[in-house]
Amino acid sequence: MARILLVEDDFDVRQVMEHVLIDGGHRVDKADAAPVAKDLLTSRHYDLVLADGRLVNGTGMELADQAVKAGTAVLIVTGYAFDLPKDELKRFEYLLKPVSQNELLQAVERALHSDMRSRPAP
């Protein structure tokens, strides 16, 4: 069972993803904003940060960089992949929204067992 920090600013999407992750056997903490997520990352250990690529007050990649420094795996889920800087996004495993339950859980498992923890920002 992995401990996951879910960062998503859309309430409905966050609720659905949280339930999928919990049903998949994971423990989930959630944040709706980058500052809240940054605070959680400094106060707790996570196995995975699952973040929206584009947040109202930041990006998932900013959080991902902080997570990688702490040795935490990262998965970005976004509906705006084409609007995000390609050189940043390609450093992390990512999914395009909308995403199915199975697709999300498979990507979580890949991220948890990948080398994404060791790819810091250039």
Q: What percent of the chain has pLDDT over 90?
A: 63
- For residue 42, being part of any structural domain is answered with yes
Strands 58-59 and 93-96: unpaired
Q: Could you tell me the CATH number of the domain that includes residue 39? A: 3.40.50.2300
pLDDT at site 121 = 47
pLDDT at 122 over 60: no
Confidence grade of residue 109 (pLDDT, cut at 50, 70, 90): very high
Cβ proximity of 78 and 98 under 8 Å: no
Q: Please, what's the largest Cα pairwise distance for the chain?
A: 36
DSSP 56: T
Residue pLDDT, tens place only, 63-96:
998 999 989 999 999 877 666 556 666 677 888 8
Q: Is residue 105 part of a domain?
A: no
pLDDT-above-70 percentage for the chain: 84
Please name the residue that has the structure tokens 């605070």.
39
The model carries a pTM of 0.88
Write the CA distances from 63 to 38, 81, 86, integer angstroms.
7, 16, 16
13: in domain: no
Structural domain boundaries, residue 34: 25-99
Sorting pLDDT into bands at 50, 70 and 90, what band is 4? Answer: very high
**Total of domains in the chain:** 1
Alpha-carbon span 21 to 43, nearest angstrom: 21
Mean pLDDT, all residues of the chain: 87
What average pLDDT does range 52-58 have in this prediction? 86
pLDDT confidence tier of residue 115, bands split at 50, 70 and 90? low
